[in-house]
A and B are shown apart, each in its own frame.
Chain A
Amino acid sequence: MEPLMAIAIGVLFACAIYMMLRRSIVKLVIGLMLLSNAANLLIFSTAGMVRGKPPLVPEGLAAPLGEVADPLPQALVLTAIVIAFGVLSFAVVLLRRAWEIVRTDDLDKMKDTDT
């Protein structure tokens, strides 16, 4: 499964970078969303993907029976998803403010506005 994921993640990264290289700031934001998802998936799947064994300890036991999925990357990704949302909300608000002030969504035109 992981090799397939590697390809998917590569595509996601490529799409994210492509969108971030656009001049339209709205596309930049979409690129950011793709980028955070790609990064999360990278962490999640590089740790190894396990089917149907969530990292839960069954009731009445001290440790799970047998191998379970690695919980640490899951914990990392969980916070990363929420933080990515926080950053996204910051980015979109920034974008909206920028639009309201400079009246353009073209990044090339924005470069001359901060004098």
Chain B
Amino acid sequence: MMQLVVLSGFVLAAAAPFLFRWLGDRTAAIMALFPAALVLWLLAQWPTVVAGEPLWLEMAWVPGLGISLDFLIDGLSLLFALLIAGIGAFVLLYAGEYLRGHPDLPRFLVIITAFMMSMLGLVLADNLVALFVFWELTSITSYLLIGFNHTDLPARKAALQGLLVTVAGGLALMAGLVMLAIAGESWSLAELATRGDSLREHPLYTPMLLCVLLGAFTKSAQFPFHFWLPNAMAAPTPVSAYLHSATMVKAGIYLLARLQPGLGGTELWIVILSLVGALTMFTGAFQAIRHINVKKLLAYSTVMALGTLTMLLGIGTEGAMVAFVTFLLAHSLYKGALFMVAGILDHETGTKDVTAMGGLRRVMPLTATVALIAAFSLAGLPPLLGFIGKELMFESVLDASHLTALILLLAFMAAFLTIAVAAIVALRPFFGEPHQTLRVAHEPPLAMLAGPAVLAALSLLLGLVPGSLDGLVGVTVARLGAGEASVHLALWHGINVPLLLSLAGLVLGWLVYRRWDRVRARLAYLDPLMARGPEAGYDALMAALVRLAEWQTRVLQNGYLRNYLAVTLLVLVALVGHAFFFRHAARFDVSIDVYLHEAVAVGLMIAGAVAACLMKSRLAAVAAVGVMGFSIALTFVLFSAPDLAITQLLVETLTVILLVLVLFRLPRFANLSAPGERLRDLIVASAFGLMVTLLMLAVLAGERLPRISDYMVDNSQPQGHGHNIVNVILVDFRALDTLGEIFVLALAAVGVYAMLRFHAAEGSRPATKRPRASDDGE
């Protein structure tokens, strides 16, 4: 049911260009109704899910392999699906305005709708294979989105970088998921969640965990793979808003949360996730204040948030899980709003440089209000949802069982840097002295303001009435394996350590903001060091890959047909030979039971083949091949294959006709190769021939398996009504094969005809010159 909705979303995506032709500029707004309707449907499921009854939607896909398209809607997937569909609706609406008049708007709508549906499928799927398919679909669609401005070199480069990083991780993930399914004996996420104990004991636990983490970390831009995310800012702003608030980058986080009950809780899990998460968190916040491009600032703060989420999953206590869910929701709301505000600024002023903007609150008061609310949530100020999220985060870091001091330090630094980032993004452009900008700024159209306004309002509302989330957070945390939690979110927790940390952070953050220009100048000294970061490693790897490709093209793909052939054959011989002598005690059947006339036929066959190789003239070579063909036909006659014998004879005859028509228009045989080359080729050929002989002898000596043709022999007359079993096989038992074969034959004929026809059509340039060959032909 829901599956069909998601799939029909893909159909909608494909239909977007046609809709656009029909509906024009309203298309985006009308398409936004689709995710909006999904939001309503999901909200209708809220009470059931919160009551602790996940929704199962079954759908078979490949039942034979245990692969299904079952959807599971529990707290976690409901939360994600709501964010995806909800923010998706606003992003579509926003994109319609932002890209109004852009020639490629229809293409954008196609990709972003497909992306949205892939993401929905990813968070709803219960089956590992289905999840992986949707996972890769998000990688591909996001590649297309980042590279949307495909005439722009940096955009293409960033798109490729994002794709390569996430897809490389995707490969590791696939291996990890397969190991997971083997260890847990199930492809179902819900099943696996209940098998945590046996999974953690399993010998494959460590490799499986590392593979899955690699997939999740690359997708969710964790250190040291974080570099692709800020580069992905080459995308149009609605894309950035969508990719970096609700969706793609959270896919890895989602997966980790899903697998937490099955794989989490071990020392390895806790240490890796907390450490990587905390490092990512700090790196993101630190890198953010080095940039003046508003989108880069926000992108790095997203890296910070993703690190926080990973760290919380690593800590894994009940409190950490509550913090995880709250922080996730808060981040999606404010980051979506801020990216769309950034887009508005870009759209209205024509620049992305925050230092070039100022005093905009006078011309765009509404936008300024929205930006301020969202930024307060980012900074973690009361009474916004972001505040609750941050307090809970500090609380669970203080409770952490491993590396407490280190991650607390990193978390604190990240927190005050984030406050500075929030101030830079929301205060700098709107307050202070007005700047001259490229365009004269004014309030954006309603369609662009609606999304950020609603998201910011939600940040505020949920912050004021956090109790409304208790149910969803509680049931989600329970599904995450942290016990039956009855959760009460509140703004005011009394005066405690987290609050004091927040206060200290606020003061420090404000100081950084006030002296930002100087801080940035100081940090510029670090630039040479930064240039040696993980991205430099990526660049070096890509350069090495290109060099490797050039090298192997030079050595292997050198354009000499016989080199390809010789290499392929020698590898084959080596592999078969290895299997032969090291894997099997090769036994050969060498019992010879031959009549003289049979031996003569086989002898003629061999003589014909060898003579064909030795003959100096074409006619003699063709005649030798003919001798071989006729002795093969004779063999068929002697060994009970009348149909084959007839066919072979007829084909031999027609082959001669064909060769007469073609071969004698070509030049004479010439010895083009040096004796050394001929010797080398002789060795390759002999090795291959010997391999075939030995292989066949070994097969003959092996155990005879029951013939599948016994059925055909027994049923040819009763069921096929035919006495010639070979023919019954061809036209009845295996008629589908024959159908394929006659299609091949037809294709060959069409190819022959086309090749000769086209040349006649192209003005018969070669035909005007008489071929030299016919002059010196035999």
Q: Which residues of A contact B528 (CB under 8 A)?
A: none
Question: In whole angstroms, what is the CA distance A42 to B689 when docked?
Answer: 12
Query: Could you tell me if A15 and B692 are in contact, using CB atoms closer than 8 angstroms?
Result: no
Query: Could you tell me if A99 and B723 are in contact, using CB atoms closer than 8 angstroms?
Result: no
Query: Could you tell me if A105 and B713 are in contact, using CB atoms closer than 8 angstroms?
Result: no
The chain A residue sitting closest to B636, CB to CB, is: A44
With known contacts A1-B594, A18-B681, A86–B640 Cβ distance under 8 A: no
Query: Could you tell me if B672 and A23 are in contact, using CB atoms closer than 8 angstroms?
Result: yes
Question: In whole angstroms, what is the CA distance A38 to B717 when docked?
Answer: 32
Query: Could you tell me if A37 and B628 are in contact, using CB atoms closer than 8 angstroms?
Result: yes
Question: In whole angstroms, what is the CA distance A63 to B716 when docked?
Answer: 8
Confirm or deny: B405 has a beta carbon within 8 angstroms of a beta carbon on chain A: no
Q: How many residues of B contact A (CB 8 A)?
A: 104
What is the 8 Å Cβ interface bit string for chain A, positions 41-84, against chain B (1 contact, 0 not)? Answer: 11011101111111111110111100011111011011101111
Confirm or deny: B773 has a beta carbon within 8 angstroms of a beta carbon on chain A: yes
Q: Which of A8, A96, A112 contacts B662 (CB 8 A)?
A: A96
The interface stretch among B295-303, B477-485, B744-752 is: B744-752
Q: Which residues of B contact A85 (CB under 8 A)?
A: 651, 654-655
The chain B residue sitting closest to A79, CB to CB, is: B741
Min CB–CB distance A106 → chain B (angstroms): 6
Q: Which of B669-695 contact A (CB under 8 A)?
A: 669-670, 672-673, 681-682, 684-686, 688-690, 692-693
Query: Could you tell me if A74 and B641 are in contact, using CB atoms closer than 8 angstroms?
Result: yes
Query: Could you tell me if A8 and B730 are in contact, using CB atoms closer than 8 angstroms?
Result: no
With known contacts A44-B644, A63-B714, A30–B632 Cβ distance under 8 A: no
Question: In whole angstroms, what is the CA distance A62 to B744 when docked?
Answer: 34
Confirm or deny: B593 has a beta carbon within 8 angstroms of a beta carbon on chain A: yes
Q: Which of B632, B662, B722 contacts A93 (CB 8 A)?
A: B662
Q: Which of A22, A41, A78, A86 contacts B726 (CB 8 A)?
A: A78
Query: Could you tell me if B609 and A10 are in contact, using CB atoms closer than 8 angstroms?
Result: no
Min CB–CB distance A52 → chain B (angstroms): 6
Q: Which residues of A contact B529 (CB under 8 A)?
A: none
The chain B residue sitting closest to A101, CB to CB, is: B766
Question: In whole angstroms, what is the CA distance A19 to B682 when docked?
Answer: 9
Query: Could you tell me if A2 and B670 are in contact, using CB atoms closer than 8 angstroms?
Result: no
The chain A residue sitting closest to B646, CB to CB, is: A78
Q: Which of B590-622 contact A (CB under 8 A)?
A: 590-594, 598-599, 602, 605-606, 609-610, 612-613, 618, 621-622
Question: In whole angstroms, what is the CA distance A79 to B598 when docked?
Answer: 25
Q: Which residues of B contact A100 (CB under 8 A)?
A: 759, 766-767, 771
Min CB–CB distance A94 → chain B (angstroms): 6
Confirm or deny: B696 has a beta carbon within 8 angstroms of a beta carbon on chain A: yes
Q: Which of B350-387 contact A (CB under 8 A)?
A: none
Question: In whole angstroms, what is the CA distance A10 to B693 when docked?
Answer: 5
Q: Which residues of B contact A63 (CB under 8 A)?
A: 713-714, 716-718
Query: Could you tell me if B700 and A1 are in contact, using CB atoms closer than 8 angstroms?
Result: no
Query: Could you tell me if A74 and B562 are in contact, using CB atoms closer than 8 angstroms?
Result: no
Query: Could you tell me if B625 and A34 are in contact, using CB atoms closer than 8 angstroms?
Result: yes
Q: Which residues of B contact A68 (CB under 8 A)?
A: 640, 713, 725
The chain B residue sitting closest to A63, CB to CB, is: B714
Question: In whole angstroms, what is the CA distance A52 to B645 when docked?
Answer: 13
Q: Which of A13, A23, A86 contacts B673 (CB 8 A)?
A: A23
Query: Could you tell me if B692 and A42 are in contact, using CB atoms closer than 8 angstroms?
Result: yes
Q: Which of B84-135 contact A (CB under 8 A)?
A: none
Q: Which residues of A contact B708 (CB under 8 A)?
A: 72
Q: Which residues of B contact A57 (CB under 8 A)?
A: 716-717, 722-725
Question: In whole angstroms, what is the CA distance A108 to B621 when docked?
Answer: 22
With known contacts A4-B594, A59-B723, A17–B651 Cβ distance under 8 A: no
Confirm or deny: B697 has a beta carbon within 8 angstroms of a beta carbon on chain A: yes
Min CB–CB distance B725 → chain A (angstroms): 4
Query: Could you tell me if B689 and A10 are in contact, using CB atoms closer than 8 angstroms?
Result: yes
Min CB–CB distance A87 → chain B (angstroms): 6
Q: Which of B561, B613, B704, B751 contacts A19 (CB 8 A)?
A: B613
With known contacts A56-B724, A106-B672, A75–B729 Cβ distance under 8 A: yes
Min CB–CB distance A73 → chain B (angstroms): 8
Min CB–CB distance B741 → chain A (angstroms): 5
Query: Could you tell me if B606 and A11 are in contact, using CB atoms closer than 8 angstroms?
Result: yes
Q: Which of A12-27 contact B (CB under 8 A)?
A: 12-27
With known contacts A21-B565, A71-B729, A74-B644, A46–B609 Cβ distance under 8 A: no
Query: Could you tell me if B685 and A15 are in contact, using CB atoms closer than 8 angstroms?
Result: yes
With known contacts A22-B672, A69-B640, A88-B658, A17–B700 Cβ distance under 8 A: no
Question: In whole angstroms, what is the CA distance A108 to B672 when docked?
Answer: 10
Confirm or deny: B495 has a beta carbon within 8 angstroms of a beta carbon on chain A: no
Question: In whole angstroms, what is the CA distance A97 to B755 when docked?
Answer: 7
Q: Which residues of B contact A105 (CB under 8 A)?
A: 666-667, 670
Query: Could you tell me if B559 and A111 are in contact, using CB atoms closer than 8 angstroms?
Result: yes
Question: In whole angstroms, what is the CA distance A84 to B751 when docked?
Answer: 15
Min CB–CB distance A46 → chain B (angstroms): 6
Query: Could you tell me if A77 and B639 are in contact, using CB atoms closer than 8 angstroms?
Result: no
Q: Which residues of A contact B654 (CB under 8 A)?
A: 85
Q: Which residues of A contact B592 (CB under 8 A)?
A: 1, 3-4
Query: Could you tell me if A18 and B613 are in contact, using CB atoms closer than 8 angstroms?
Result: yes
Question: In whole angstroms, what is the CA distance A115 to B594 when docked?
Answer: 55
Min CB–CB distance A85 → chain B (angstroms): 5
Min CB–CB distance B760 → chain A (angstroms): 11
Query: Could you tell me if B639 and A51 are in contact, using CB atoms closer than 8 angstroms?
Result: yes
Query: Could you tell me if B693 and A6 are in contact, using CB atoms closer than 8 angstroms?
Result: yes
Query: Could you tell me if B643 and A8 are in contact, using CB atoms closer than 8 angstroms?
Result: no
Q: Which residues of A contact B636 (CB under 8 A)?
A: 44
Confirm or deny: B446 has a beta carbon within 8 angstroms of a beta carbon on chain A: no
Query: Could you tell me if B569 and A17 are in contact, using CB atoms closer than 8 angstroms?
Result: yes
Question: In whole angstroms, what is the CA distance A64 to B640 when docked?
Answer: 13
Query: Could you tell me if A81 and B651 are in contact, using CB atoms closer than 8 angstroms?
Result: yes
Question: In whole angstroms, what is the CA distance A87 to B643 when docked?
Answer: 21
Query: Could you tell me if A15 and B612 are in contact, using CB atoms closer than 8 angstroms?
Result: yes
Query: Could you tell me if A12 and B609 are in contact, using CB atoms closer than 8 angstroms?
Result: yes
Question: In whole angstroms, what is the CA distance A41 to B669 when docked?
Answer: 28
Min CB–CB distance A30 → chain B (angstroms): 6
Question: In whole angstroms, what is the CA distance A115 to B547 when docked?
Answer: 22
What is the 8 Å Cβ interface bit string for chain A, positions 28-41, against chain B (1 contact, 0 not)? Answer: 11100110011011
Q: Which residues of A contact B629 (CB under 8 A)?
A: 37
The chain B residue sitting closest to A23, CB to CB, is: B672
The chain A residue sitting closest to B707, CB to CB, is: A70
Question: In whole angstroms, what is the CA distance A18 to B615 when docked?
Answer: 13
Confirm or deny: B756 has a beta carbon within 8 angstroms of a beta carbon on chain A: yes
Min CB–CB distance A96 → chain B (angstroms): 5
Query: Could you tell me if B612 and A19 are in contact, using CB atoms closer than 8 angstroms?
Result: yes
Q: Which residues of A contact B559 (CB under 8 A)?
A: 111-112
Query: Could you tell me if B744 and A24 are in contact, using CB atoms closer than 8 angstroms?
Result: no
What is the 8 Å Cβ interface bit string for chain B, positions 627-651, against chain A (1 contact, 0 not)? Answer: 0110010011011111110011001
Query: Could you tell me if A79 and B738 are in contact, using CB atoms closer than 8 angstroms?
Result: yes
Question: In whole angstroms, what is the CA distance A2 to B704 when docked?
Answer: 14
Query: Could you tell me if A26 and B744 are in contact, using CB atoms closer than 8 angstroms?
Result: no
Query: Could you tell me if A14 and B625 are in contact, using CB atoms closer than 8 angstroms?
Result: no
- Most chain A CB within 10 A, of B700, B709, B773, is at B709
Q: Give 22 pairs: A residue, B residue, CB < 8 Å, sorted on A.
A: A1-B639, A3-B592, A4-B592, A6-B693, A14-B690, A20-B562, A21-B685, A24-B670, A26-B669, A30-B621, A45-B696, A58-B723, A59-B723, A70-B707, A71-B713, A72-B729, A74-B643, A79-B741, A92-B658, A93-B751, A97-B756, A100-B759
Closest 5 interchain pairs by CB? A14-B689, A10-B693, A69-B640, A111-B559, A86-B748
A residues near B (Cβ < 8 Å) are 1-30, 33-34, 37-38, 40-42, 44-46, 48-59, 61-64, 68-72, 74-75, 77-79, 81-90, 92-97, 99-101, 103, 105-108, 111-112
